[in-house]
Amino acid sequence: MHATLQDWRILLDGTGFEEVDRGVMVNTSKVRYIYSDLQQIHFGEEAEGVFCPIARVNIPRFQRYYPKVQIRKSGVL
C-alpha cells in the first residue's frame, strides 16, 4: 500500500493515533511516559527499549489531551 503521511492522518483521524513529530505517528493508548528532556515517548515495560521522538512543542499538547501519560523530567539512561 502506497500512502503519504497526509493519507494516514485522514485514515487514522479519531482512532487514537497522533502525529508527535515530523513523520511520526503513535497509538496514544500504548504510550506510558514521556521523557521531556530527551524528547522521547516510551511504551512501557512490555515494550522495554522501544521509544520514538516527540517534538518539544508537542509535549504540552500531549500532556493536555492525555493527562494520564506521565511526563518525566529526567531521562538519564
Q: Is the pLDDT of residue 23 over 90?
A: no
C-alpha cell at 33: 511516559
Q: Is the pLDDT of residue 6 over 90?
A: no
Per-residue pLDDT at 1 = 64
Kindly report the pTM of this predicted structure: 0.81
Give yes or no for a contact between 70 and 39, defined as CB atoms under 8 angstroms apart.
Answer: no
- pLDDT tens by residue, 37-69: 999 999 988 888 899 999 999 999 999 999 999
Q: Is the pLDDT of residue 74 over 90?
A: no
CA distance linking residue 25 with residue 12, whole number of Å: 10
Which SS3 state, helix, strand or coil, does residue 8 take? helix
* Average pLDDT of the residues in 31-35: 94
> Helix H segments across the chain?
5-11, 58-65
